[in-house]
Amino acid sequence: MSQPKKQKLTSLSPSLQANTHAIHTKFGGSCDLVIRSFRSDAAPKRKLALLYIDGLVNADLINNSVLAPLMSLQLPSYMEGKGDLLMESLRSCVVAVGAVRDVVSLEEAMQCMTDGLCLILAEGSTVGLMADVNGGNQRAVSIPQTQTVIRGPQHGLVEDIHTNISLVRRIIRSPELHVQMHKIGKQSHSNVAVMYLHGIADEGIVKEVYRRLAAIDIDAILESGYIEEFIQDETFTMFPTLLNTERPDTISASLLEGKVAVLIDGTPMALIAPTTFFSFFQSAEDYYQRYDIASFVRMIRYVAYVVSVLFPALYIAVTTYHQEMLPTTLLISLAAQREGVPFPGLVEALLMEMTFEVLREAGLRMPRAIGPAISIVGALVLGQSAVQAGIVSAGMVIVVSFTAISNFVMPEFNMAATSRIIRFGFMIMAGMLGFFGIFISVMFTLVHLASLRSFGVPYMSPMAPGSTGKGLWRDIFVRIPWWAIVFRSFDLNLRNPRRKRNAKKPPAQRHSGKPK
C-alpha cells in the first residue's frame, strides 16, 4: 500500500504580525480564535502574542500560569538573548505550566491549538511555545449507561480520551502499561490511543493493530464504530468481531488477558481486540461475585441467547409442520387460539416481531420523559387489541414477548442486536421447511462462526479449533474460583501466560470457637 504524501510544513516567520495574520487567515477569522498581543516585563524589548481557541482551554490556567507570569516576571538582561534564545528562557523560567514544548511550523501550531493548547509567539523568534492548558466544559465521570452492574466499580468512560486513559491507569498502576497516541482523520485529527501491557500482550497483535490504524484514510472519526469497521477482520458478517465497552475495569481485565484496547477521543466506547464469541456472554460482574452464582448466571445467558434466536422459529415449525410433537391438550389449546386468525404462523410471527422492533426503536428515539411510557403502553395495548381482534393468537404474543425478554439478558448490546437480525432468517426457514430448515440454518450459522477471525484469532476458540491446554475451557461456560485460575483465559502467543504459580487453595485456619 502506497503511503500518503506528507504535507509540506510552513516554518514560523520572525515577524510576529506575519505569524498571527497567517493563523487568523487560516482559521477564517473564527470568533472563537483569541489572539492577545501584549508586552511583558519578562521581555520588555519584544512584543509577544498569546493565541488559543476559546472553549478548548482552561481560562483560569491561562490567566494564572501563563499570562500572569509573562506579564509580571522580569528576566535578567543576559537571558533575554536574541531570536530563539528568548523562547528557551520563557519555557525554562517563566511559563508555569507542566507540559511546554517548542513548535517550529504553522501547521503544527494550529493543530496543537485545536487540541486545547495555547501558543506563545515573540517578535523576532522562529520558535513558538505550546503550553498544555486543556480544559473547557466536559462531561464528568458517571455511572456507565449501557453496561451496568450491581457489584463492582460504578464509573464509566467519558468523551475525553485523557480522562479515559487515567481511569485505566488508576486500576493498572504499572509502568508496563504502554499507551501510544495516533492522529486519524484528515479534518478531525482525532486522537486514538492504543493500550496494552508490555510483557503480556502478543507483540504480533500489537503491531497488527498499529498497521491497521495507520492504513485508515478518512476525513473524520466521530465514534469508535468508524474505527471498528476499518480494522475488523471480516466485513460481511452480522457477528461483532471486536468487543466494545464503556467500563474501565473491563478494559483493565482485557489488558491483563493479553488483549489490546483502542480508545477514541470524543466517545465513551472503547474497542478491545482480539475477542471471541464467548467473550460477549461474560460480564464484569461475573468476576466480582461468587463463582457458583456467576456460573449459574452465565449459563442463563447462553440459554437465553438460544431462546432469542430459535424460539419463534421452533414455534412456527411445530405449529405448522410438526403438530404431532405437541401433547394433545396443548395442541387443542393452540388450535382454539388460532381459530379465526387469518394469517399462517410465519406471517403472524413476522408481523409481531416487526411490531415489537418498531416499538423498541420508537422507545429509544422518543423524548426520554415519555419514551418508556409510550413503549410499554403501546406494547400492552397493541398486543391485547391484536388478540381480541383475531389478528394474532395469544400463544404468538407470549412467544414474541418471552423472546424479546431473553434478548435483553445479553450483557453486550451488539451481540443482542445480531440475534434480532438472524432470528428472522430462522423464522423464514422454519416456515418453509420446518425443523429441517432450522437445522440447515443452525449448521450454516455454526460454519460461518467457525470461519470468522478476530485479528487472526479463531472466533470460536477454544471450541473450534479445539484446544485443551492451559485450562482455556475453565472460563467459557462456567467461572471457576479465582484461586484455581492459573493461566490467562485466552489462547494467544503471550509472553507471560500465567496469572499465578499454582492452583492450590490457600489453607483455611480452623478455629475451635473458644476465645484465646
Please provide the distance, in angstroms rounded to a whole number, between the alpha carbons at the two ends of the chain. 76
Q: Look at residue 166 in the predicted model and tell me its pLDDT.
A: 94
Which structural domain range is residue 422 located in? 291-454
For the segment 364-375, the average pLDDT, to the nearest whole number, is: 69
Boundary-marking domain end, from 84, 115, 132: 132
Phi and psi at residue 513, to the nearest 5° = 90, -10
* Cα separation, 37 vs 17, whole angstroms: 10
62 vs 497, higher pLDDT: 62
- Give the rounded percent of residues in the chain with a pLDDT score beyond 70: 86
* H/E run at residue 514: none
404 within a domain of the structure (yes/no):
yes
- Among residues 208, 213, 211, 180, the alpha carbon closest in space to that of 194 is found at 180
Based on the fold, state whether residues 125 and 184 are members of the same structural domain: no
27 within a domain of the structure (yes/no):
yes
Based on the fold, state whether residues 221 and 363 are members of the same structural domain: no
3-class SS of residue 43? strand
Based on the fold, state whether residues 221 and 343 are members of the same structural domain: no
Yes or no: say if 213 and 231 are a contact pair by the CB < 8 Å rule: yes
Q: Is the pLDDT of residue 2 over 50?
A: no
Boundary-marking domain end, from 408, 426, 454: 454
Q: Look at residue 42 in the predicted model and tell me its pLDDT.
A: 66
Give the predicted TM-score (pTM) of the model.
0.85
Q: Is the pLDDT of residue 5 over 80?
A: no
Structural domain count, the chain: 3
- Confidence tier at 77 by pLDDT (50, 70, 90): low
Q: Is the pLDDT of residue 344 over 90?
A: no
Omega before residue 411 within 30° of 0, cis: no
* H/E run at residue 472: none
Based on the fold, state whether residues 388 and 425 are members of the same structural domain: yes
Based on the fold, state whether residues 295 and 393 are members of the same structural domain: yes
Q: Look at residue 7 in the predicted model and tell me its pLDDT.
A: 64
Q: Of 44-48, 149-153, 494-498, where does the model show the most confidence? A: 149-153
* Cα separation, 245 vs 146, whole angstroms: 9
For the segment 417-426, the average pLDDT, to the nearest whole number, is: 93
3-class SS of residue 238? coil
Q: Look at residue 392 in the predicted model and tell me its pLDDT.
A: 84
Based on the fold, state whether residues 57 and 127 are members of the same structural domain: yes
Q: Look at residue 512 in the predicted model and tell me its pLDDT.
A: 55
140 within a domain of the structure (yes/no):
no
Boundary-marking domain end, from 403, 427, 454: 454
Based on the fold, state whether residues 231 and 306 are members of the same structural domain: no
DSSP output for 247-291: -HHHHHHHHHTT-EEEEETT-S-EEEES--GGGGG--GGGGTS-H
- Among residues 100, 115, 88, 120, the alpha carbon closest in space to that of 19 is found at 120
- Among residues 449, 427, 409, 412, the alpha carbon closest in space to that of 310 is found at 427
Question: Rounded to whole angstroms, what are the CA distances from 91 to 62, 87, 100, 107?
Answer: 15, 6, 7, 21
361 vs 381, higher pLDDT: 361
Yes or no: say if 41 and 71 are a contact pair by the CB < 8 Å rule: yes
**Cβ-based neighbour number of residue 515 at 10 Å:** 5
Based on the fold, state whether residues 316 and 439 are members of the same structural domain: yes
Q: Is the pLDDT of residue 383 over 50?
A: yes
362 within a domain of the structure (yes/no):
yes
* Cα separation, 351 vs 345, whole angstroms: 10
Q: What is the mean pLDDT of the chain?
A: 85
- Name the burial class of residue 369, with classes exposed (0-12), middle (13-18) and buried (19+) by CB atoms within 10 angstroms of its CB: exposed
Based on the fold, state whether residues 23 and 117 are members of the same structural domain: yes
* Cα separation, 458 vs 219, whole angstroms: 32
In the numeric block, which cell numbers belong to residue 339? Answer: 381459530
459 within a domain of the structure (yes/no):
no
Based on the fold, state whether residues 98 and 192 are members of the same structural domain: no
3-class SS of residue 242? coil
- Among residues 243, 282, 269, the alpha carbon closest in space to that of 414 is found at 243
Tens digits of residue pLDDT in 197-256: 998 888 899 999 999 999 999 999 999 999 999 999 988 899 999 999 999 999 999 999
Tens digits of residue pLDDT in 282-294: 998 999 999 999 9
Q: Look at residue 490 in the predicted model and tell me its pLDDT.
A: 63
Q: Look at residue 335 in the predicted model and tell me its pLDDT.
A: 83
Based on the fold, state whether residues 265 and 335 are members of the same structural domain: no
Q: Is the pLDDT of residue 362 over 60?
A: yes
Q: Look at residue 506 in the predicted model and tell me its pLDDT.
A: 66
485 within a domain of the structure (yes/no):
no
Cβ-Cβ contacts under 8 Å for 262 (sequence gap 6 or more)? 192, 193, 194, 195, 209, 213, 224, 227, 231, 270, 271, 272, 273
Phi and psi at residue 216, to the nearest 5° = -75, 130
407 within a domain of the structure (yes/no):
yes
* Cα separation, 67 vs 117, whole angstroms: 14
- Confidence tier at 435 by pLDDT (50, 70, 90): very high
3-class SS of residue 327? coil
- Name the burial class of residue 340, with classes exposed (0-12), middle (13-18) and buried (19+) by CB atoms within 10 angstroms of its CB: exposed
Q: Is the pLDDT of residue 192 over 60?
A: yes
3-class SS of residue 503? coil
For the segment 167-192, the average pLDDT, to the nearest whole number, is: 93
Name 458's bridge partners. Answer: 453
- Among residues 455, 498, 410, the alpha carbon closest in space to that of 261 is found at 455
* Cα separation, 213 vs 183, whole angstroms: 9
In the numeric block, which cell numbers belong to residue 231? Answer: 480494522
Based on the fold, state whether residues 69 and 98 are members of the same structural domain: yes
Q: Look at residue 3 in the predicted model and tell me its pLDDT.
A: 46
Omega before residue 507 within 30° of 0, cis: no
Q: Is the pLDDT of residue 173 over 50?
A: yes
90 within a domain of the structure (yes/no):
yes
Provide the edge-to-edge strand list for the sheet that holds 100-103.
33-40, 43-53, 117-122, 128-132, 100-103
Tens digits of residue pLDDT in 118-167: 999 988 889 999 998 888 778 888 888 888 888 889 999 999 999 999 99
For the segment 320-349, the average pLDDT, to the nearest whole number, is: 85
> Which single residue is written with the C-alpha cell 428515539?
365
**Cβ-based neighbour number of residue 326 at 10 Å:** 15
3-class SS of residue 57? strand
Q: Is the pLDDT of residue 105 over 60?
A: yes
